[in-house]
Structure 1
Amino acid sequence: MEVFGSSGVRGVVGDLMTPAFVGRVARAAGAVWRDSHDGPGRPVAALARDTRRTGETFADAAAAGLTSVGLDVHRLGVVPTPGLQAYAESEGVPGLMVTASHNPPEYNGIKLIGGDGIELDRSELERVEAHVRAMRSDGAVGPGYAAWNETGRSRSVGDARRRYVESVVEAVDHGAIAAADLTVALDPGHGAGALTSPDLFRELGCEVVTVNATPDGHFPGRNPEPVPENLGDLGRLVRAADADVGIAHDGDADRAVFYDAAGRPVEGDATLAALAAADLAPGDATVSAVNVSQRLVEAARGADADLELTPIGSTHIITRIEELQAEGTRVPVAGEGNGGVLFPPYRLARDGAYTAARFCELLAGRGDIAGVADGPRTVREIVAPFDGYENVRLNVSHGGGTEREAMLDAIEAHAAAADADVTTIDGYRLDFGDSWVLARESGTEPLVRVYAEAPSRERAEELAHAMRDDILAATNEG
């Protein structure tokens, strides 16, 4: 697909992302939803946004596109993406989320949600994309507009955030969490989670201290991506407050990453493995992307469960989970090591606050993990069985065109020359037994991403830098 990448559509504001483009995508999605509507009354779509500076403008454009083809619009305002998904599921209406998730402030984007609260699958996205491609910029071609007396109307929904917080509190063992008397240091990164997660963890009985907790689309305290280089303030807050755990979100709060009581970052792959180990049973399956860590491999093996791999991106993971569930296979937990975890029995959606609450359950002593004692635990005790690996991630920017092609050719050549097992589900993953390296094109930014994992930092850096050096050499030769 040309419009929708691995997780919706995103781009730099004023370049790809303009009000006109957002309006066309909304009009296209609205036409698909209108044509599939078979219930009484006018079709309805929910609309929400994160805190980005351009979010209100783009939400207005999206509302115009949706109403122009005859849909009524429920405007939720600033809500985490999983909050929109919870609303969509409870009301049985599709949704459009204006967000660029973890991307820098100059980006914005769109995620499309079905009436079941799940991101649209590839076939549905292709129907929307066909309409988008058919349109001219003046809107003269494409799905028809509603007649003047059949256009939709917008109304504000003021309780969507409250309903979302209550749904998460009700879905976890809030009694056990409260009894653990946890101090939580929270960094929502000025994103949508700033309006929900502090209240959520207080209602779970935690003492909550915050940093970067004012909603601000300029993201003055840190960039939205919750990676260690952006989370120094959180580490310092954990130490200063003597907190039991640090929690950080991305811009739309569908991800959660963790810090231990010493203010040190926890590898997202270790968190995912621990959550999986506590939930998986023999005969179950878990699903992750091609950049999966050996940690999750070990967690699945220890539970006598299967591990299924997909291309990177929540849409691919969700599609595979749905396929497995249709076959009768239980998938209690799935996701990626970037903090995007899904608990399908709860909702087939990445939910940063719910993930963090489930991790607090582990801190409170809930969940059996081989090698971890029962009763209250520390963050480090929970992830200790999955230590022993080092990860390196590098980004290589490109200017598109021939430079991009040269990079992709270099990756293929590097893989062909390596003495490794090669997987091409998404990019090229080279497995060397106890270590691996993966190079793939980003689905949301003009980057090639390089990932490596090995038992030692030295080996992981060796693999990652060798791949990156070949990529850069190819562009220099061009």
Structure 2
Amino acid sequence: MTETKKTISIAAIQNERGVRFGTSGARGLVADMSSDVCFAYTSAFLEAIKAFEGKVALAMDLRPSSPEIAAACAAAIEHARLETDFCGTVPTPALAYHAQMRGMPGIMVTGSHIPFDRNGIKFYRAEGEITKTDEARISAAVVEMGSSSTTPLPAANRSAFDAYVARYLDFFPAQSLAGMRLGFYEHSSLARDVLRRILELLGAEVVSLGRTDEFVPIDTEAVSRADVEQARRWAAEHRFDAIVSTDGDADRPLVGDENGNWFRGDVVGILCAQYLRAKGVVTTVSSNTAVEKCGAFASVSRTRIGSPYVIEGIERQLAAGISPVVGFEPNGGFLVGSSIEREGRRLAPLMTRDAVLPILCVLMMAREQGVKVSAVSLGLPSRFTASDRIQSFPTALSGTLIARFASSAAAFGELFGSLCGEIASQDETDGLRVTLRSGEIFHLRPSGNAPELRCYAEAATQERAEHLVSEGLTRLRNLVPRQ
């Protein structure tokens, strides 16, 4: 009798388990990301990109659930008759860069910044992150399961770590950060070893801050009040030139000045693009309008939120003959779409979010201009942004509310009129982003990674932007049905 092979539909997993693609990668509750689910997603990815021979790079973050998920990914790689190139616990961009340099696919087990009870898997072609077209192919797949959905992970190699360090040491001049005293908020970031090594080899003195073995879900778009206050205390106590950090998988930066004030991620993105002398910039619809108003770039285009959309925008600019082209998101994650030449040194493209490059560019700007880190953004137009989110906010309710506000100015005005004033125009590229008659911007969208409702605002002062966000979210919380 012929044995019937077990198959799993990815669409069924998405519908029944809720593990589906968000703004970057497949995400879900740890309880739903069983070994079978992760095996199936990995198999579907390998089929979608037609990976039939060779190696697949695999790495993971420091969440306690990540090793088991990685073991399921390794089992699927083995089932596809491929070899696992296990890179251990390295930053997502280091895994992607290693895969790019070796011409192989890559898989990163990480939940990035999302809450502790969740995790995810990011997939890479050799050229960079998978596209939305690839995601559609994976979602439509029906895959054959193996006899076992996990396998022991092989010993980790250092090749991805070493190549990532060399990427920056080859681009930035030796000892270019000599004399700088930097605080490094390490927490459970995957950058805590690799970024320290890069900074020290460039000459900086690095002081470890807040290192922990317990996973901390840092969101660089919604930095907690505790982290804001802690950074200022560290700055006052230690007299740092800057404080640096990243999110959990080190593809989103945090840069604080000598006073411990964190820069907004989109401001860091603009500064990094200026330092690299980019001609084209692609960013999301939610980024600070200073990117256009500063006049530094020949072409600026905006996309939906999520690195796959930014990558598509970069590819369109390159096809139009614009170069060099870079991209960034409001979380500060920075993408290099084409080779960068600066002072006779070359930086290769890296089509995934990166935290290390923007951190280094901001520090280099301060050194080259001979100013404190707090001064590097003073040349930008005075546009200030803020963002935050309501966690555990039902996604369906987010969609219903946003649709109501988008279709009815009266409905928007009833809830937000006394806060925002009248609407001048609206943009529904991703959620609802309204430009107000005052020139301020108010933006609502459901998170693509978790049941959260996000709010962004832009105004002429930081205080006003923060007030728009905090008061807007307070009014929205009152609409959540009480349990």
Partner of 1:229: 225
Instruction: For residue 331 of structure 1, report the CA deviation from its aligned partner.
Output: 4.0
The alignment status of 1:263 with 2:260, answered yes or no, reads yes
Gaps of 5+ in 2: 1-10, 15-19, 340-347, 413-421
Q: Confirm whether residue 311 of structure 1 aligns to residue 304 of structure 2.
A: yes
| Alignment match of 2:269 (pick from 272, 275, 290) | 272
Q: 1:128 aligns with which of 124, 138, 143?
A: 138
What's 1:289 paired with? 284
Give the match for residue 65 of structure 1. 76
Q: Are 1:66 and 1:152, in contact at CA under 8 Å, matched by a contact in 2?
A: no
Query: Residue type matched to 2:284 in 1?
Result: A
Cα 1:24–1:462 shift into 2, 3 Å: same
Give the deviation of 1:325 after TM superposition.
Answer: 0.9
Separation in structure 1 between the aligned mates of residue 482 and residue 423 of structure 2, nearest angstrom = 25
CA–CA distance in 2 between the matches of 1:343 and 1:380? Answer: 25
Corresponding residue number in structure 2 for 1:56: 67
Which of 401, 414, 419 in structure 2 is aligned with 1:407? 401
Task: State the distance in 2 between where 1:325 and 1:442 align.
Answer: 29
On the 8 A contact 2:385/2:456 being kept in 1, the answer is yes
1:245 is matched with which residue: 242, 255, 275?
242
Which residue matches 1:422? 426
Residues 399 and 242 (structure 1), Cα distance of their counterparts in 2 relative to 1, 3 Å cut = closer
Q: Which residue of 2 aligns with 1:362?
A: 365
Separation in 1, partners of 2:482, 2:153? 56
Contact kept, 8 Å, 1:73 with 1:152, in 2: the verdict is no
Q: Counterpart of 1:354 in structure 2: which amino acid?
A: L
- 1:229 & 1:465 partners in 2: Cα distance? 12
| Alpha-carbon offset, residue 420 of structure 1 | 2.0
Give, in whole Å, the separation in 2 of the partners of 1:305 and 1:397: 38
Q: Kindly tell me the number of residue pairs found equivalent between the two proteins.
A: 440
Query: Following TM superposition, by how much is the alpha carbon of 1:248 offset from its aligned partner in structure 2, in angstroms?
Result: 1.0
Contact 1:188 / 1:253 at 8 angstroms: preserved in 2? no
TM-superposition CA deviations, 1:201-248 (whole Å, max 9, x none)? 11111000011335x2x22xx542242535244433333221111111
Offset at residue 406 of structure 1 (A): 3.5
Moved more, 99-108 or 342-351: 342-351
Alpha-carbon contact 2:39-2:145 (below 8 Å) kept: no
In structure 2, the CA distance between the partners of 1:175 and 1:402, relative to structure 1 (3 Å rule), is closer
**Counterpart residue number, 1:168:** 168
- Which amino acid letter does the alignment assign opposite residue 295 of structure 1? A
**1:353 equivalent in alignment to 2:349:** no
Confirm or deny: 8 A CA contact 1:407 1:472 kept in the other structure.
no
User: In structure 2, what is the equivalent of residue 105 of structure 1?
Assistant: 116
- Confirm or deny that 1:447 pairs with 2:458: no
Q: Describe the shift of the 1:29–1:304 C-alpha distance in structure 2 as closer, same or farther (beyond 3 A).
A: closer
Give the fraction of aligned pairs with identical amino acids, expressed as a percent: 26
Please list the CA deviations of residues 123-148 of structure 1 after superposition, one character each: whole Å capped at 9, or x if unmatched.
122212222xx3xxxxxxx24769xx
Question: Does the Cα contact within 8 Å between 2:362 and 2:376 map onto a contact in 1?
Answer: no
In the alignment, the residues of structure 1 paired with residue 432 and residue 463 of structure 2 have an alpha-carbon distance, to the nearest angstrom, of 21
User: For residues 235 and 408 of structure 1, do their structure 2 counterparts lie closer, same or farther at Cα, with a shift above 3 Å needed?
Assistant: same
Contact 1:285 1:331 in 2 (8 A): yes
1:64 aligned counterpart, secondary structure: helix
**Partner residue in 2 for 1:208:** 206
Contact 2:310/2:328 (CA < 8 Å) preserved in 1? yes
1:320 maps to 313
Report the AA paired with residue 301 of structure 2.
E
**CA distance, structure 2, for counterparts of residue 338 and residue 152 of structure 1:** 35
Shift, 1:57, TM fit: 1.0
Kept in 1: contact 2:175–2:201 (CA 8 A)? no
Give the AA of the match of 1:390.
F
Shift of the alpha carbon at 1:29? Answer: 1.4
Cα distance in 2 between the residues matched to 1:153 and 1:97 = 14
Check whether the contact 1:71–1:152 (CA below 8 A) recurs between aligned residues: no
Moved more, 354-363 or 48-57: 354-363
Change (3 A) 1:155 1:415: farther
TM-score (norm 2): 0.83
- Partner residue of 1:77 out of 88, 93, 107: 88
2:462 and 2:218 mapped to 1: Cα distance?
26
TM-score after normalising by structure 1 = 0.84
> Which residue of 182, 192, 199 maps to 2:197?
199
CA distance in 2, matches of 1:298, 1:457: 17
Q: Is 1:188 the equivalent of 2:186?
A: yes
Query: 2:129: which partner in 1?
Result: 119
| DSSP-derived class of the 1:208 partner | strand
